[in-house]
A and B are shown apart, each in its own frame.
Chain A
């Protein structure tokens, strides 16, 4: 079973601060996704990265896929209280169509 480790596990910051969440594995992924999940809801897809070294931006969120396609990061600029939630990375390994989720990062943004 491929393991996707996320760090940090918990993060509590003030509104306006920047933060980075990391997703690491020893396995190579054909693509990697980031989700946000709010209490009482299912995960919602934010982005999919496919190419090693790829960077994608979604408003204040910047996603990067590692050159070797084994790791990824999510950077949030000027966090807002609405960014609060559980952030999950998830990856597909080459040749398979099973999505493996990371361990999760619980983010709390306070005023």
Chain B
């Protein structure tokens, strides 16, 4: 069974530029999550989707971050404009349903200079 796919793996941008990350979850998984992980810390949930609807986006900085999962399968996370403090690994995870085991992708390492 294929795992969670993410691209790109690495991205370097200058502050105030825009960036987008893509995630393809495990086939059949209804729930998709985006996490932000600062180096050496635990992941922090940014947004959770159930199919194509948003379940929780309470920790998403909505003035600069946006995410969508239009067809209830793959998802994109966008940052516009980026700040230095956005440098982190952005992890995508999926699960069959909420509360089921989450499977994580390899992440996208973003560096903002």
Q: Are B44 and A101 in contact (CB under 8 A)?
A: yes
| Interface size bracket, A side | 20 to 34
A99 within 8 A of B: yes
Cβ of A106 under 8 Å from chain B: yes
Residues 94-113 of B contacting A (Cβ, < 8 Å): 98-99, 101-107
Q: Are A42 and B93 in contact (CB under 8 A)?
A: yes
B82 at interface by CB-CB < 8 Å: no
Confirm or deny: B91 has a beta carbon within 8 angstroms of a beta carbon on chain A: yes
Bound-complex Cα distance A3 to B56 (A)? 18
B40 touching A42, Cβ below 8 Å = no
Interface of B (DSSP majority class): loop
Taking a contact as CB atoms under 8 Å apart, the answer to whether A102 and B107 are in contact is no
**Of B42, B55, B91, B99, the contact of A42 (CB 8 Å cutoff):** B91
**Cβ distance A2 to chain B, nearest Cβ, rounded Å:** 12
**How far in angstroms is the closest Cβ of chain A from B103?**
8
A interface, by DSSP: helix, strand, loop or mixed? strand
Instruction: Tell me which of A42, A98, A101 has the highest count of chain B C-beta atoms within 10 A of its own C-beta.
Output: A42
B73 within 8 A of A: no
**Contact present for B45 and A106 (CB under 8 Å):** no
Residues of B within 8 A of A44 (CB): 104
**5 extra interchain contacts, Cβ-Cβ under 8 A, other than A42-B104, A43-B104, A45-B101?**
A43-B91, A48-B101, A97-B55, A99-B102, A101-B42
Cα distance A74–B53 in the bound complex, in angstroms: 36
Cβ–Cβ < 8 Å partners of A28 in chain B: none
Query: Which B residues are in CB contact (< 8 Å) with A100?
Result: 45
User: What are 8 A-B residue pairs whose CB atoms fall within 8 Å in the complex?
Assistant: A40-B106, A41-B104, A42-B4, A42-B104, A43-B43, A97-B55, A98-B48, A100-B45
Of the residues B4, B43, B101, contact of A101 by C-beta under 8 Å: B43
